[in-house]
Amino acid sequence: MSVKTIWGKIVLYLREHKNVALHVICGDITDVELIDEKLVVKTNEQYLFDIVSSKENVEEIKKAINWQGLNLELEFIKTKKDEELVQEDFNKLNKLEIKFRKV
């Protein structure tokens, strides 16, 4: 079973069990991976990360996984936005005293 199918069924489970807020939040998350027996959920939005990784919401997502007959661990990762990565690069260049200009 593909990771997109697993995640889609989680979103479906949340909708069917009237967990509307979590259903919407999970529907906004599209970066998911299946690594060994772990479902890795990634987002670069802090508010999505905070909500989806809260204790009660993790329990709901685990119920949705079990509902599919799966036994997967969960991992949530807050990734950096492109702007954050670019700013980090600019900061590194400044520390090296390399002159540059934004265009």
In this predicted structure, what is the pLDDT of residue 103?
A: 65
What number of H helices and E strands is found in the chain?
A: 5, 3
- What whole-number distance in Å separates Cα of residue 76 and Cα of residue 40? 6
pLDDT in tens, 56-76: 999 999 999 999 999 999 999
What is the set of domains in the chain, with CATH numbers? 3-95 (3.30.300)
As a whole number, the mean pLDDT across the chain is 89
The string of pLDDT tens digits covering residues 32-59 is: 999 999 999 999 998 999 999 999 999 9
**Cα dihedral 40, 44, 46, 48 in deg (nearest 10):** -60
